[in-house]
Amino acid sequence: MGRTAWLQDRRMQKFRDVLSRWNGGDLSMLEAGELLGMSERQFRRYRDRYEEAGEDGLRDRRLGKLSTRRVPA
């Protein structure tokens, strides 16, 4: 497992932990966002994407794509 994949898995694991604490009523949305290093609004977006698509909704969509700023060969 590469570093990028490991970081992405770690981020998803942390999100699930914070989401379960938020669902349990231990955290407000603002506190949950702060724990994850994001705003309350971004936490809501992540929560909605997670509810709609599960873990695939949290995956970084940029990974595996070539940069649009890449220099031609």
Question: Are 12 and 5 in contact, with CB atoms under 8 Å apart?
Answer: no
Token match 């997670």: residue?
A: 50
Confidence (pTM): 0.72
Asked if the model's pLDDT at residue 63 lies above 80, the reply is: no
pLDDT of residue 40: 92
Higher pLDDT, 54 or 10: 10
CA distance 42 to 38: 6
Please list, residue by residue across 21-38, b when 16 or more beta carbons sit within 10 angstroms of its beta carbon and e when fewer do. ebeeeebeeeebbebbee
Can you give the pLDDT at residue 1?
63
Model pLDDT for residues 15-60, shown as the tens digit of each residue? 999 999 999 988 999 999 999 999 999 999 989 988 888 777 777 7
Q: What are the boundaries of each domain within the chain? A: 3-57
